Each structure stands twice: as C-alpha cells, then as structure tokens.
Chain A
C-alpha cells in the first residue's frame, strides 16, 4: 500500500504519516503506554497472546470458518457486495418515516422494512441478528448461542483488552458517557451488560473476521476505555448503551472491502475501507436512483444522537383511536370527540382551592405597605416651615449703620462739626413767607397732619417752622388728619409750640381728629366739614364734660365750609395725599390758599401744581434746608436749625459711602474685563 487514507477527511496520506496532513487527525492510534496501535506501516506486531482479534480469528479458523472472501473490485455501476448485503431489499424507506429518523434495522423477514424499536425487549435489529445467527448455528449444529457471546468465549472470561488496542470505529455506537437521553426512541434501551456467550465461529461476520488482528484506525481518544472486542457482540457497551452495528448486510455477513487488502495495510473492515469509501460515491447515486431499499437501515450512534438539537425532538404521542376517544357531553363542545373534558374540572363550579380570603402577608410586605400608607398621608399634610438658617451678619450693613450712627451722633454729642446755615433760600420761600404774613387773623388756619410717625423726624422740623409763624401772627389753629396716627402727632407738635406762644387748647387751638376714608373722606370734608367730623380730639376735660364739640369752640364757631378757613396747610410726605388735597379739596376752597409742607422726596411731584399757570398749590415748603432758611428768615432757631449739623454729617457720610460703592463696582467691572 503506497498511501493511507485519513479516516476523518478521507484524503490520501503517506504511508508512514502519523497524522493527516490535511485535517490533522491521527492516523495511528494514540499510544498510552501499551503496545501502540497505528495504521499502515506503523503497525506494530503484538504478541499473539494479546491480540484478541487474532485469537478470535484463530478460533474461527480452527472451527473451520471460511476465510472471508476478498471482495472483488466492484464493477463500475455495481454496488460492492458488502454494501449490497446491508442495503435493505425491497421498497424504499417508508413514506411515513419521519425525517431525520434513522430507520431501525430491518426486522427479520422484512426486507427493507423499518420498525420502531421495541422497547419491551431487545431491539428488533438485535433479534434479527440473533435469529440469523441461530439459523447459522442450527445449520452448523451448534447450540443457539448468540454469536456475540460465542465470540466472547466462556461466560466467566472477560476479553482482555489492550489499552489502546481497540479504537471504536467511526459509525459505531461510541461508548460515550451520555446523560439521560431518552429522546431518541431509536436508541436502544440500556441493557445490562451481558456476558458474551462463547463466540460462534460460524456466526462471526466476515468483516469482523477480517478485522481480527488488525489495528483499527485511530479514533477519538477513548482508547483508555475498556471496550469489548470488536468481534464479540457486546450486548451493552461499557457506557451502558447497546452496541449498534452500523452496517450489516442482509445475511448478517459483512464482506470484504471491495478494494481488498493491500499488502502491508491494516485490515480494515470492508465498510471502512478506502475503496469502499470511494465506492459509495459511485454507489450513492445509484442508491439515490431508487436502490435505497438495498441499504440496510441504520440508527444513529449514541454520540450523534446526543448532538441532535432539542428542537428537533419529536416525542411520540400515542393517539387514541377515534372509538376510544371520549365524547364531550357538556358545554359548547358537546358531542365532539377528542376534546378535553370540561366536567368535572373546568365547567363545574367549585370553591376556590386556595383557601380563605385572608392574604398571606409577610412581615416585610406589611412594613412596605405601612410605609406606602405613610407616604400617601404625608403628601396631604402641609409641611411645617423648617427653621431657616439665618445668614451670617452682613458686615457691610453693620459697618454702614455704625458709620451713619456715628456721623449723626457726633455733632449732637460733641457739638462739632458745625455746618453753616444755608445762605441761599428757595425761590418760593419769600412768597410763602409773605402769604402767611398777610393772612387774616380772625379766621382759623387748618393744619392737616397727614404723615406717618416715621416721618416725624423731618416733617416735625419743617412743619414747626411754618406753624410758629402762624402762631406768631396769632391765627387760631385747627388740626385734622386722615391717618389714624395723625391726631397724636398733631397734639405732640402743638403741645410743644402752644405754650411758647400762649395758645390755649380749646380757645386758640383745637383738634378735629381722625377722618377715615382717605380720598373719599377728603371730598366729604371739603363738601361739608361739619358733617364729616362730629366730635373732636383732645378737647379740654371741661369741654368734654360739657358736651362741647370742636365745632362749638371759639376756633371753629364761624366755620361752615372749607372756604371759611384762612389757610389750609397739608403736612405730608406722600405725593398721593398732596395730590388728593390739591385736586379734590381745592375746588371747594374758594380764595383760601393751599400750602404744602412736604418731605424733600415729594417735591418733584407737587411742584408742578405750584408752578402751573392756574396753580392749585399756593405755597410749598420742602425739606430741612428750606425749613432752616425759613427759621433764619423768622429769626428763630427751631428744630430745623438744631438738626442741621447732624443732618449735614449724616448726608456727608452717605455721600462718601455711595461714592465708594460706585468706585468699588467700577473696579470690579474693570478687573473682570482684565481677566477676560
């Protein structure tokens, strides 16, 4: 033999090659310490006593087994004899056969038939084999012992296997340790290992005889496993699965490979021979043309069975015959066969098998439910305002307050610095002074104190300058207010000045009190003063006890309308109040002048009334500087002059702080620009 064929890829390799140069498969069996088993020229001579196959052959020769016939070269178009033997005769595979299902070996007497494995006993194919062997045995006169058991020899003797001497051939049921794999019905059930009976020389198939003494081609690395000799018919491989002969001819005899056995080559079984491998290439088309019936049906080896995808598993469902199927008697499917019975399980009402209605709540579930309940409750509850963390003391605020306080207190406490009184008077000061100076003294002047106590620091000083001139003239004074705190303010100012000028409450000065209603009240008072204010405020006790009202006093006895007053002076810090009196009351004042004593901030809003072509305001006195000038004109030093120095230092400090703030902001802006 010039070359050897690789058992895996079937390509030729040099005779001395250990591994296939195409696919890398071993061409010689792996040597695990024992006598190596290889193929081709690497075959080693084994001691005759260790070669079980040789022993079997020897026994069979001794028994007169004819030598296997060497298979002749298959004629082109003809199937080799060994293939013809295993090819099932007769009809092609049954139409009802499932795809992918490996037909079982044809039953005895059933050429070409396929049959599901009978799980009740040995598989059908095995029975057939045994039957044939028995026939042969009967023919040869032997007892009906199983040919495999005959090949194995005495019941107590186990065939000694050399490690690595036997390699399972491809196609055989490999002794693979499979897990429970009951999927394939074709797999023969595991059978307990049976002790082989004495080998029957006559029953030994030819291929087995040919394989005697040969080194089987290398296979998967399972040589360490103890395997029954190839010649003996092992009932159950070491791994528990029955051995399945892949290709067995009809007569149960194997044939020599068509190519014969070249000299020096390992005795391969016919079906494993290279020529036989080539042969099927020519044979298969012939087989495909309708000669499939001559092929012996084979089952899948167990290792291949294990590789079958689960999806292709098709369990065998035993379908009852129609007569055996129950007839539904209730429900919409009544009268049909083969349906799931509704009663008594489905249609019949029954109580729940669950048990009581109480939920089985675990501790953890209970805690979670409680938490959820609390969360829902919290959503509806209004949260209490949390204590806000106060921001830190504002240094700038405290610093500015300290500076202003110091600046205000310094002139009061120390008398310095002193600022000179303003030498410049406002333009309107002269006309106001003249106006007051020319008022008729027999008619009272109405003073409206419409400012908040907070403005008393400024407006007390400004108003007193004008009030003093009125008191100097001896004009009676009546006060009123549209603010709740106006009456005490008016009393406070008048009570300070009245003793200086001999004014007696109730005689020269009277307080009308508080008139509620804002602008509406001003309009009402302007229309009918006596109906707007009824009582008075702060009248002397004797007058109150006598039930005398403010209108009954000598001051207001002759006053019935707003025009009966000689002067109406509104002392206010709000522009709105000034506008209300200027717009609402002036219409009812006739020739009576209206004078505004204002805070410095209200001047821009009121001045237009004074400077209008038809002025509604006849005089204004605005701010501390004007009051100081007024006092200077009068030749008296009042509150305005007393507060002038403190006013000056505080204003100066404020100016410096503002200027510093502007400079600081500009420097910050410039530095930010530089950084960019």
Chain B
C-alpha cells in the first residue's frame, strides 16, 4: 500500500508539472486554463502551507517549554508574541493601528538592527579574510570590494574632480562589466542546475514530497 501511494503522489506531481510546463509553450486554451488552475491551487496551497508551518513552529517551541530545555524562555516569549499578534490581527484586522504599531515598533527595529549587525559582521569578516584564507582570489576579492566602496561612498576630499571622475567611472566599469559578466555566467550555470533539478522532479526520480 505504501508503494502505491508513493506512485500516486509521483503521478500527481508529474502530471501537474507537465501541464504547467506545456502551458508555457503550447497555446491551447484547455492547457492554458488548466495551467492557470494549477497556479491558483499553488497559491492556495502556499497559504495553507504557511498555516501548517506555523503549527509546526508552535509545536517545536511548545515542546521546548514543556521539557524546560535550554532556551525555553525564548520559546515561551515567541509563543506569547505569536498568540498576541495573531489574536490582535484576527480581532482587529492586519491593517489595524495596533498591528501596525507592533510592526513599526518591534519587527522593524529588530530587523534593521539585524541588518546593522550584518554590516558589522561583513566588515569583521573582511578584516579577517586575508589572515584566514591567504590566496590570490582573496586578495582580488578584497581589493575589488575596497575599490567599489571607494567609488560608491561620498568623496572625502574636495577638489579632486578629475580623479573622482576616474574613480567613479572605473568603479562603474568594474561593477557593470566584470562583476555583471561574472554574475551572468553564474546565473547561466544556476539556470542549468535549476533546469536539471526540475527535470529530475518531473521524471519522478527526485521526490522531495516523500515516498
């Protein structure tokens, strides 16, 4: 029975993927409508998956609180905040002033602080990079980063107009030619990898949905 169920899930995944893929190439109305229907279902399922994920989140932290594992205080705060925010949002609505107050005064400062922490971490990582990994690529990486920063940041010294122009043009050339070219090459490879992954899912050999 387990083998049949897994074959059923694989067949469903295969059919849905093929129809959506064909809908990009074939202009038959039936296929286009079917593709749209599947896309609608995907959006609904993404929303439903969010609810399932939240339930999983609560269960993990509830277990931590129940067993008094290390860090259970944070789990308790998380559950409390989730309950309060969910309750306020359900009762007053997500665009209510209270919800917006919570967002503007809690979530926004926390996330911007994390962004600031990211800046510090990146600078520290840059400072240590040559000591940790002493090779040519590291030197090129850091030299390029330094040059782009100099070309992006406000010019500290006034009166060096031509030099500033040269620096800015050089910075633009590096970022828009070399960096963009390299990024495009990487993107091509990423596209190939994504295509291969999608084909493996369509062929049914890769089953992240279990079975």
A247 at the interface (CB under 8 A from B): no
* Residues from chain B with Cβ under 8 Å of A224 in the complex: none
Is the beta-carbon distance between B156 and A517 smaller than 8 angstroms?
Answer: no
Q: A400 with B124: in contact, given A517-B42, A664-B131 (CB under 8 Å)?
A: yes
For residue A583, give the distance in angstroms from its CB to the closest CB of chain B. 11
Interface residues of A in 196-214 (CB under 8 A from B): none
Contact B165 A652 (CB under 8 A): no
State in angstroms the CA–CA spacing of A608 and B179 once bound together: 12
Q: B46 touching A600 by the CB < 8 A rule?
A: no
CA distance A84 to B103 in the complex (A): 135
Q: Does A326 contact B (CB under 8 A)?
A: no
Which of B104, B145, B156 is close to A658, meaning CB atoms less than 8 Å apart? B145
- Near A by CB (< 8 A), chain B positions 66-121 give 69-70, 94-95, 99-100, 103-104, 107-108, 111-112, 114-115, 118-121
Decide if A623 is an interface residue (CB 8 Å cutoff).
Answer: yes
Please determine whether B127 and A400 come into contact, CB atoms closer than 8 angstroms: yes
Interface string of A512-524 (1 = CB under 8 A from B): 0100111011011
Q: Which residues of B109-141 have CB atoms within 8 Å of chain A's CB atoms?
A: 111-112, 114-115, 118-121, 123-124, 126-131, 134, 139
Chain B residues near A644 (CB, 8 Å)? Answer: 154
Residues of A within 8 A of B104 (CB): 488, 492
Give Cα distance in the complex from A387 to B71, angstroms. 10
A664 near B155 (CB under 8 angstroms)? no
* CB–CB A422/B142 < 8 A: no
**Beta-carbon contact of B149 and A664 below 8 Å:** no
Q: CA of A455 to CA of B108 in the docked complex: distance in angstroms? A: 10
Contact B180 A404 (CB under 8 A): no
- B47 on the A face (CB < 8 A): yes
**Contacting pair B42 A664 (CB below 8 A):** no
**Using a CB-CB cutoff of 8 Å, which residues 617-643 of chain A contact chain B?**
623, 625
Inter-chain contact A488/B100, CB cutoff 8 Å: yes
Is A454 a contact of B130 with CB atoms below 8 Å?
Answer: no
- Contact check: which of B103, B153, B165 meets A488 at CB < 8 Å? B103
B123 contacts A658, CB within 8 Å? yes
Q: When the two chains form their complex, are residues B164 and A424 in contact, meaning their CB atoms are under 8 A apart? A: yes
Q: Which residue in B43, B154, B175 is a CB contact (below 8 Å) of A524?
A: B43
Cβ contact within 8 Å between A516 and B127? no
* CA gap between A485 and B47 in the complex, in Å: 15
| Closest residue on chain A to residue B104 by CB atoms | A492
Verify A661–B130 contact, CB threshold 8 A. Answer: yes
Residues from chain A with Cβ under 8 Å of B126 in the complex: 657-658, 661
A651-B152, A665-B129 known; A604-B100 Cβ under 8 A = no
User: Considering the chains assembled together, what is the distance between the CA atoms of A539 and B95 in angstroms?
Assistant: 8
| Given the contacts A420-B154, A523-B39, A658-B142, A517 and B130 also touching, CB distance less than 8 Å | no
Q: Does residue A648 face the partner (Cβ distance < 8 Å to B)?
A: yes
Contacts A661-B126, A662-B142; A537 near B94 (Cβ below 8 A): yes
Residue in chain B with minimal CB distance to A387: B70
Assembly CA distance A673 to B158 (angstroms): 41
> Is there a chain A Cβ closer than 8 Å to B146's Cβ?
yes
Q: How large is the interface on A (under 10, 10 to 19, 20 to 34, 35 or more residues)?
A: 35 or more
- Closest B residue to A611 by beta carbon equals B176
Interface membership of B36, Cβ < 8 A: yes
Q: How far is the CA of A397 from the CA of B120 in the complex (A)?
A: 7
Name the residue among A517, A539, A625 with the largest chain B CB count within 10 angstroms: A517
Asked if B112 contacts A401 (CB within 8 A), the reply is: no
Asked whether B13 is an interface residue with its Cβ less than 8 Å from the other chain, the reply is no
Tell me if A182 counts as interface (CB < 8 A to partner B). Answer: no
CA distance in complex: A456, B110 (Å): 12
A424 B168 Cβ-Cβ under 8 A: yes
Closest CB in chain B relative to A400 CB, distance in Å: 5
CA distance A420 to B164 in the complex (A): 12
Q: What distance in Å separates the Cβ of A420 from its nearest Cβ neighbour in chain B?
A: 6
Question: Taking the nearest CB of chain A, how far is it from the CB of B190, in angstroms?
Answer: 10
For A661, the chain B residues whose CB sits under 8 A away are: 126-131, 142
Q: Is B18's beta carbon under 8 Å from chain A?
A: no
Q: Does B183 sit at the interface, judged by CB under 8 A? A: yes
**A487–B89 CA distance with the chains assembled, in angstroms:** 14
Contact A456 B39 (CB under 8 A): no
Query: Contact: B94 with A396, CB < 8 Å?
Result: no
- Interchain CB contact (< 8 A) of B108 among A384, A456, A657, A669: A456
Query: Are B46 and A456 in contact, CB atoms less than 8 angstroms apart?
Result: no
- What B residues does A651 contact at CB under 8 A? 149, 152-154
Residues of B within 8 A of A659 (CB): 146
One of B107, B124, B129, B164 near A485 (C-beta < 8 A): B107
Q: Verify if A72 is at the interface (C-beta below 8 Å from B).
A: no
The verdict on B150 contacting chain A, using a C-beta distance below 8 Å, is yes
Complex interface: chain B residues within 8 A of A605 (CB)? 180, 183, 187
**CA separation between A644 and B155, bound complex, in Å?**
11
CA distance A319 to B38 in the complex (A): 103
Q: Is the CB of A647 within 8 A of B154?
A: yes
B208 CB–A CB distance under 8 Å: no
Contact (Cβ within 8 A) A658 B120: no
Q: Bound complex: CA of A665 vs CA of B125, how far in Å?
A: 12
Asked if A222 lies at the interface with its beta carbon under 8 angstroms from chain B, I say no
B200 at the binding interface (Cβ < 8 Å):
no
How far is the CB of A37 from the nearest CB of chain B, in Å? 99
Does A317 sit at the interface, judged by CB under 8 A? no
Option from A404, A453, A513, A645 in Cβ contact (under 8 Å) with B107: A453
Contact with B along A586-605 (1 / 0, CB 8 A): 00000000000000100111
- For the complex formed, measure the closest distance between the CB of A640 and the CB atoms of chain B, giving whole angstroms: 12
A530 to chain B, nearest CB (A): 14
* CB pair A424 B165 closer than 8 Å: yes
B94: chain A residues at CB < 8 Å are 487, 537
Q: Cβ of B111 and Cβ of A666 under 8 Å apart?
A: no
A472 at the interface (CB under 8 A from B): no
> Is B146 touching A655 in the complex (CB atoms < 8 A)?
yes
A423 B161 Cβ-Cβ under 8 A: yes
A668 to B120, CA, bound (A): 23
Give the complex CA separation of A400 and B50 in angstroms. Answer: 38
Task: For residue B187, give the distance in angstroms from its CB to the closest CB of chain A.
Answer: 7
Determine the chain B residues whose CB is within 8 A of the CB of A657 once the complex forms: 123, 126-127
In the assembled complex, the Cα of A603 lies from the Cα of B127 at a distance in Å of 25
- Point out the residues of chain B lying under 8 angstroms from A652, CB to CB: 153, 156
Residue from B112, B120, B187 whose CB has the most chain A CB atoms within 10 Å:
B120
Q: Given contacts A492-B108, A513-B95, A623-B152, list 15 more A-B pairs with CB under 8 A.
A: A385-B69, A404-B123, A424-B164, A452-B111, A453-B108, A454-B111, A488-B104, A516-B50, A604-B176, A607-B180, A647-B154, A657-B123, A662-B130, A665-B134, A668-B130
Question: Which residues in A have some Cβ–Cβ distance to B below 8 Å?
Answer: 384-385, 387, 394, 396-397, 400-401, 404, 419-420, 422-424, 452-457, 485, 487-488, 491-492, 511, 513, 516-518, 520-521, 523-524, 527, 537-539, 600, 603-605, 607-608, 623, 625, 644-645, 647-648, 650-652, 654-655, 657-662, 664-666, 668-669
Q: Which 7 A-B pairs have the closest CB atoms?
A: A665-B130, A661-B127, A651-B153, A419-B154, A648-B154, A517-B43, A454-B115
